[in-house]
């Protein structure tokens, strides 16, 4: 008996198969444990002038191209140090001292002192806002930019979500950021570039990354990226040598959760460009991948996204 298939039946079958694949992919990836959250400074945020596709956005495009419908979140903020990134992550709570020593029944409670991290940025982001709890009260911490002393925060205040009783508090009260939105995500940490510029120690950077890793508990789905050097840091400079030492320590500490992204970028030079070849021969990142000598251009960010995605898929996360 000869079976005859109509054109319509073939179309319907194709649509059914496509829908089945899409539903399966959606079910697999649309959860907090498969979403990808990217944490860092301007290397992650992609806010440097001339960058149009930060690596998290390129990562999202790459995932969709592979029928991977999970969301990719960009939590990078330009100008943040590793301490500020760890605090924003909820791993190193800032300790706040209130101007009047109490949380009012409603309205702002002004902050006059912050220990550990001021949750600000030395770049002008206007006002940054964080949700969490202070002395057990749910609310929002608002942190303004300080134009005269960018390393410090501007006006900082806590506002409770709902009116309540006046609550007297002591000094150095931890502000606890709620990590539930990202604690079970696949987490990408790219932290420390601004610490190098500020001449902070490798021990500080490693400790802050470790705070982040420990704060997610049993979640083993995390990856740490190596810090990259800038064109103004020659191989014999203190900054370049510190980066090499830092990356070696990070690779040893997070073996199995580590991407030597600096080395990946160094090897991604264009052999037809003399300046790229010169950079490669001295162990530097190719100028053709940089937009200002420090930040990656879209081509560089694409390389980072590919390395991160290959790593995540290789882990079957």
Query: Could you please report the per-residue DSSP string of 143-192?
Result: EEE-SS-TTSEEEEEEEESS----EE--SSEEEEE--TTTTTSEEEEE--
Same domain, 246 and 283: yes
- Apex 166 CA angle, 160 and 169, nearest 5: 85
Locate tokens 């059914």: which residue? Answer: 16
Same domain, 183 and 173: no
CATH code assigned at 201: 3.40.50.1110
Burial of residue 56 (number of CB atoms within 10 Å: 0-12, 13-18, 19+): buried
Residue 23 in domain: no
- First-to-last alpha carbon distance for the chain, in angstroms, is 48
Same domain, 147 and 127: yes
> Where is the domain boundary, 177, 212, 243?
177
Same domain, 114 and 227: no
Q: Where are the beta strands (DSSP E) in the chain?
A: 36-40, 72-74, 95-98, 102-103, 108-115, 127-134, 137-145, 153-160, 167-168, 173-177, 186-190, 222-225, 258-259
Identify the pLDDT of residue 20. 44
Same domain, 184 and 83: yes
Same domain, 79 and 118: no
Locate tokens 């000094």: which residue? Answer: 171
Same domain, 173 and 73: no
Same domain, 246 and 185: yes
pLDDT averages per 10-residue partition of the chain, 317 residues: 50 44 51 89 95 98 96 96 96 96 96 91 85 97 90 92 96 96 97 96 98 97 98 97 98 98 98 98 98 98 98 97
Residue 188 in domain: yes
Residue 90: count of CB within 10 angstroms of its CB: 22
Same domain, 112 and 162: yes
Residue 113 in domain: yes
Same domain, 105 and 239: no
Identify the pLDDT of residue 150. 80
The whole-angstrom separation of Cα 41 and Cα 171 is: 30
Residue 14 in domain: no
Residue 11 in domain: no
Nearest residue to 135 via CA among 180, 91, 165: 165
Nearest residue to 55 via CA among 252, 291, 284: 291
- Output the six-digit token pair for 138: 């749910």
Residue 251 in domain: yes
52: CB partners within 8 A, 6+ apart: 298
Residue 290 three-state SS: strand
Which residues, in sequence order, are bridge partners of residue 188?
38, 223
| DSSP type of residue 276 | H
The whole-angstrom separation of Cα 156 and Cα 6 is: 69
Residue 121 in domain: yes
Range of the domain at 157: 94-177
Identify the pLDDT of residue 5. 45
Q: CB–CB of 54/46 below 8 Å?
A: yes
Helix (H) or strand (E) holding 119: none
Helix (H) or strand (E) holding 59: helix 55-65
The whole-angstrom separation of Cα 157 and Cα 92 is: 19
How many domains does the chain divide into? 2
> Where is the domain boundary, 149, 177, 205?
177
The whole-angstrom separation of Cα 103 and Cα 9 is: 68
Q: CB–CB of 267/285 below 8 Å?
A: no
Residue 69 in domain: yes
Structure pTM? 0.89
Same domain, 119 and 264: no
The whole-angstrom separation of Cα 32 and Cα 74 is: 15
> Where is the domain boundary, 127, 152, 177?
177
Same domain, 191 and 298: yes
Q: CB–CB of 141/107 below 8 Å?
A: no
């Amino acid at each position: 008996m000869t079976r005859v298939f109509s054109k319509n039946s073939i179309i319907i079958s194709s649509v059914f198969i496509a829908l089945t694949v899409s539903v399966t992919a959606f079910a697999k990836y649309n959860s907090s444990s498969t979403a990808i959250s990217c944490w860092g400074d301007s290397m992650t945020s992609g806010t440097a002038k001339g960058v149009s596709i930060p690596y998290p956005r390129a990562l999202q495009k790459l995932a969709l191209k592979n029928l991977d419908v999970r969301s990719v979140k960009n939590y990078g903020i330009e100008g943040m140090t590793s301490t500020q990134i760890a605090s924003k992550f909820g791993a190193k709570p800032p300790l706040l001292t209130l101007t009047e020593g109490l949380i009012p029944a409603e309205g702002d409670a002004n902050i006059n002192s912050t220990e550990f991290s001021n949750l600000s940025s030395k770049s002008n982001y206007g006002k940054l806002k964080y949700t969490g709890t202070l002395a057990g009260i749910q609310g929002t911490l608002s942190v303004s930019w300080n134009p005269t002393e960018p390393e410090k925060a501007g006006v900082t205040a806590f506002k409770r979500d709902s009116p309540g009783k006046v609550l007297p508090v002591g000094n150095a009260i931890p502000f606890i950021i709620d990590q539930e939105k990202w604690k079970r995500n696949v987490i990408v940490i790219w932290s420390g570039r601004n610490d190098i510029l500020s001449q902070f120690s490798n021990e500080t950077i490693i400790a802050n990354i470790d705070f982040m890793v420990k704060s997610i508990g049993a979640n083993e789905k995390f990856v740490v990226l190596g810090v990259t050097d800038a064109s103004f840091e020659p191989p014999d400079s203190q900054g370049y040598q510190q980066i090499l030492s830092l990356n070696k320590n990070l690779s040893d500490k997070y073996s199995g959760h580590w991407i030597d992204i600096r080395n990946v970028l160094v090897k991604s030079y264009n052999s037809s460009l003399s300046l790229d070849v010169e950079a490669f021969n001295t162990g530097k990142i190719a100028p053709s991948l940089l937009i200002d000598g420090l930040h990656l251009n879209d081509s560089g960010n694409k390389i980072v996204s590919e390395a991160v995605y290959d790593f995540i898929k290789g882990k079957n996360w």
